Structure formats: structure tokens, C-alpha cells
């Protein structure tokens, strides 16, 4: 995609997406955190407890309450008259994640309907894995840009001429000043009616920039549980900014599960009713359907033969509990000689899981790594197994059910809303490997039960996670923000 000429390319974009300006200190902090959690573990201190201690000990917080009040007091700037409202979606990248997929689904469908002028803006360069969903967005007629690339010099001069905005930007913490500055320029140029940000970093950076640019309406979309559940991804400035945003009538807070909304609300200290819950949306007809020949070819490729397949689709990281998954897998393989366990995914604990799989049964327990054929893998699976400690809305489980594959999962977070217990699958207590294995074996050993659950799973997803419902609710949210009184 050819980009307009710009006389100054920001430092953020002259570096690779993996080495953007904030990346080096982030990597250092992450390495330090890994070492600290390992040492703390020797003394029985959990990552959550260590995170709480860090919050108390670290006095130098990159947040200024008086500055935040000044920024949120800036008046909205009415956008130019248009035949359609303009919505700018902001996210880190278009990588192969559930939130990225939902954003692209929403953008494509609103663009198809023609009711909204929709754009996507990313904070990272769209190269390599960061561009996974870029073709899907562009093929749907959605304009996609990267932060800071398309801003002509006069935009920076216009912002510099506004003393209030200029002084606020200068006073921001250097931790996120550059990102907010570039986004402010983007929003001034694009003049959106609504900025819809996705995930925590984009929510905070985009929320600040939207106020500085005078955007009338701001939607902040949380997609999982609150940041303390993910200490390595949390930032000390998240909470105070979220609390300030929640107090503004120009801001709407979204969650994709009631569990996620309740968790964020408790962390922020606000009424859960402050969040609007919009479940994820899927179009089952858009999911690729594998023919019998394709399924046979995939089985041959993986060397599965006629084995009964238990499939895991998850990021191999601490919160997904790969250790519990491996315990359940071992029990399943011991009890059913025809079973084979496959895991599609990557993450920081991949090598640990690979070693555990090899120790259990290298031939019947496979870690496949990152795959682009998830729908095809689901089509050859007899059951999808999920052991996560916490979730927002597990897209992989919803897609599995949409394709008629029953699910056995722990009930952490939003998973309880994503699986119909004893209908589309089974829900087990978090950390209960024995029950996960027992329920998976129950499905493997009973073809009638599996057929019934397969049929119910497809009906459940169509009624609960319809794409049209998600789009309608999102558009209604935009309309409500545009009609609300301004501060």
C-alpha cells in the first residue's frame, strides 16, 4: 500500500515494529520481571502478589493528576459536516489475535453497510505477523493506516499553534508522549466523530490523544480481564487514566463479556453498569469449510491416521495454564489408546510445553506451533480442550463451536459465557485437570453425545455470537455517544 509522501518520517516508523522507541525499555522491564517472578517463586510469592508489591514500591509513576484533569477538560471540536459519521478504529497491529479479528469483522461489515466512514489506524508497522489481517481488511474496502505516517507538516504546525494542547503534550510522561503526539496529529487530520480504541495500550494512548484532538466521542474497548491478571503487560499509568476516562461523559467503556466488565469495574472502582457488554460476533458462513479430501490430506500431513483428535488452540503463556492442559492430555492419552493431542499456538512457554509433550508421548502429543489453518484443524478434531485460568471472550472456542466441534474448557472469566455447559460442551473448574480429562473422554467415548453437542454448538453460536448483532450493538453505541451531552 503506497503511502503519501512525508518530509519527516517519525523515529517510531524508522525502526522495525519489534524495536519501536518504547520497545527496548519494555524488553528490559520484561526481562527484569521474569527474573523477579522466578526468584519470588522460590520464596512462595505469586506473580500477582509481586505485582501488588511493585505497585506500592514504585513511587515514580508516569501519571500527573492535574495534567489529566486539564486534558479531559479540553472541549470537543465539532467535525466537518459529512453525509456519514467517521469512525477511526485504533489498535496495536492487525496480527493474528482475537481482538484484531473482531475489529476487522466490525470494520468490514460497517463498511459494507455504507452507514459509516470507517478507518483503521495501527500503532505498529504492518509488517510480518503484524499484518496478518491486513488483506482481510483491505479486501473488505476498509482504509488502513499506520500511526504517524500520513500526517503533513501543517498538522504539526496547527497543533503547535494551540498553546493548551502544546503544553499538555510537552508535560506528558516520556513513557508514552511520542505515541500520544503522533496519534493526536492523526486525529486532527482525520477529524473523526468517534475514536474506537481496542486493548489497553491503544485505549490509554488513543484516549488521551482523542481528548487533545477534540474528538467528540471516544469508545474504549476492553477485550479480556483487567491488567493485574497479566502483570507482564500491565503499566502503572493504566489504572489512573482509566479512572479519569470513566468519569467523562464523552467516553463509552465496552467489554466483550460480563465477567470481563465486572473484573475491570472492580479494578477501576466503578459501577459495572458503566460498561456496555457486546459479545464477539462471528459469521459462520465466512468460516472456511474443509472437504473430506482436505481433512484426509491434513491428517496425512500430521501423521494422525484414524486417531481421535483432542485439539488445543491457545497462546502458550502462563495465564493459559499449559501445565494443566498437559496434565489433562496425559490422562486422556493413558485412558484412550486411539487419542492424539495437538496444540496449535505459540508463546513464551512453548519450549516448556514441547518438552512436557515429548516426555508424555512424543508421537501422540504434538505442539504444532503457530498455524494459519485453524479452521481445518478444528474440522478434524473430535473435541477442543482449553485449560485457561482467565479469558475475556475465547474466540477459538467460539469458532470451534461454530464449526460443530464440542468444547471442554475451564470456566475462567468470560469462558463461562462462551460455552453452554452440557449443551455445546462442558465447563470445568479452573485448574481441575482430572475433570477436563474426564469430560473430554466422555465425548470421545460417546459418538451420540458428540453428535448432539456438535449440533447444539452451532445453534448456540448462531444465536449468541451473531456478527449482525455485534455490529448493530456497536453502531448503537456510537449513536449513543454522539447524542450524549458534551462536557
Domains of the chain plus CATH, in order, are 62-281+470-483 (3.40.50.2000), 284-464 (3.40.50.2000)
pLDDT number for residue 9: 41
* Dist CA 401 CA 407 (whole Å): 7
Answer whether 316's CB lies under 8 Å from 348's CB.
Answer: yes
pTM score: 0.79
Closest CA to 302 of 353, 332, 341, 336: 341
Answer whether 343's CB lies under 8 Å from 316's CB.
Answer: yes
Closest CA to 129 of 371, 388, 397, 348: 371
Burial of 230 (0-12, 13-18, 19+ CB in 10 A): middle
Q: Strand, helix or coil at 325?
A: helix
pLDDT number for residue 63: 82
Category of 369 on φ-ψ map: left (φ > 0), alpha (ψ -120 to 50) or beta: left
Mean pLDDT, 10 residues at a time, over the chain (487 residues)? Answer: 43 39 55 74 72 54 87 94 94 90 94 94 93 93 94 91 95 93 96 97 98 97 89 86 96 94 96 95 80 91 93 92 97 96 94 96 94 92 95 88 96 90 96 97 96 96 92 92 55
pLDDT number for residue 33: 67
Alpha-helical segments (H) within 90-248: 98-113, 134-139, 153-161, 163-171, 177-190, 200-213, 238-246
Amino acid at each position: 500500500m503506497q503511502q503519501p509522501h512525508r518530509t519527516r518520517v517519525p523515529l517510531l516508523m524508522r525502526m522495525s515494529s519489534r524495536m519501536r522507541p518504547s520497545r527496548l525499555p519494555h524488553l528490559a522491564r520484561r526481562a527484569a520481571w521474569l527474573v523477579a517472578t522466578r526468584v519470588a517463586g522460590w520464596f512462595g510469592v505469586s506473580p500477582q502478589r509481586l505485582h501488588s508489591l511493585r505497585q506500592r514500591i514504585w513511587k515514580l509513576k508516569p501519571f500527573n493528576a492535574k495534567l489529566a484533569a486539564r486534558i479531559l477538560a479540553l472541549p470537543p471540536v465539532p467535525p466537518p459536516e459529512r453525509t456519514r459519521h467517521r469512525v477511526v478504529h485504533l489498535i496495536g497491529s492487525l496480527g493474528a489475535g482475537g481482538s484484531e479479528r473482531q475489529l476487522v469483522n466490525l470494520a468490514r461489515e460497517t463498511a459494507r453497510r455504507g452507514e459509516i466512514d470507517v478507518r483503521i489506524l495501527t500503532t505498529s508497522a504492518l509488517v510480518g505477523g503484524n499484518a496478518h489481517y491486513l488483506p482481510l481488511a483491505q479486501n473488505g474496502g476498509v482504509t488502513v493506516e499506520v500511526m504517524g505516517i500520513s500526517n503533513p507538516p501543517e498538522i504539526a504546525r496547527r497543533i503547535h499553534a494551540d498553546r493548551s494542547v502544546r503544553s499538555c503534550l510537552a508535560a506528558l510522561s516520556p513513557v508514552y508522549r511520542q505515541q500520544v503526539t503522533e496519534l493526536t496529529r492523526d486525529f486532527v487530520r482525520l477529524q473523526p466523530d468517534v475514536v474506537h480504541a481496542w486493548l489497553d495500550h491503544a485505549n490509554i494512548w488513543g484516549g488521551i490523544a482523542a481528548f487533545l484532538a477534540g474528538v467528540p466521542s471516544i469508545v474504549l474497548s476492553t477485550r479480556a480481564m483487567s491488567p493485574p491478571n497479566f502483570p507482564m503487560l500491565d503499566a502503572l499509568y493504566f489504572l489512573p487514566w482509566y479512572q479519569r476516562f470513566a468519569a467523562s461523559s464523552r467516553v463509552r467503556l465496552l467489554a466483550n463479556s460480563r465477567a470481563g466488565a465486572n473484573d475491570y469495574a472492580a479494578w477501576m472502582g466503578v459501577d459495572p453498569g458503566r460498561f456496555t457488554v457486546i459479545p464477539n460476533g462471528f459469521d459462520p458462513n465466512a468460516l472456511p469449510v474443509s472437504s473430506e479430501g482436505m481433512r484426509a490430506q491434513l491428517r496425512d500431513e500430521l501423521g494422525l491416521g484414524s486417531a481421535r483428535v483432542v485439539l488445543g488452540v491457545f497462546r502458550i503463556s502462563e495465564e493459559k495454564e499449559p501445565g494443566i492442559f498437559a496434565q489433562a492430555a496425559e490422562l486422556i492419552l493413558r485412558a484412550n489408546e486411539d487419542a492424539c493431542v495437538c496444540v496449535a499456538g505459540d508463546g513464551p512457554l512453548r519450549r516448556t510445553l514441547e518438552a512436557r509433550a515429548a516426555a508424555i508421548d512424543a508421537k501422540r502429543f504434538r505442539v504444532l506451533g503457530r498455524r494459519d489453518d485453524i479452521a481445518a484443524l478444528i474440522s478434524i478434531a473430535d473435541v477442543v480442550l482449553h485449560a485457561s485460568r482467565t479469558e475475556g471472550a475465547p474466540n477459538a472456542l467460539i469458532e470451534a463451536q461454530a464449526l460443530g466441534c464440542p468444547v471442554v474448557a475451564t470456566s475462567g472469566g468470560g469462558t463461562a459465557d462462551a460455552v453452554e455447559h452440557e449443551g455445546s460442551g462442558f465447563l470445568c473448574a479452573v485448574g481441575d485437570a482430572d475433570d477436563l480429562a474426564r469430560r473430554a473422554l466422555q465425548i470421545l467415548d460417546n459418538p451420540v453425545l458428540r453428535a448432539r453437542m456438535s449440533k447444539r454448538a452451532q445453534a448456540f453460536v448462531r444465536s449468541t455470537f451473531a456478527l449482525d448483532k455485534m455490529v448493530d450493538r456497536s453502531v448503537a453505541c456510537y449513536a449513543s455517544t454522539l447524542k450524549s451531552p458534551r462536557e
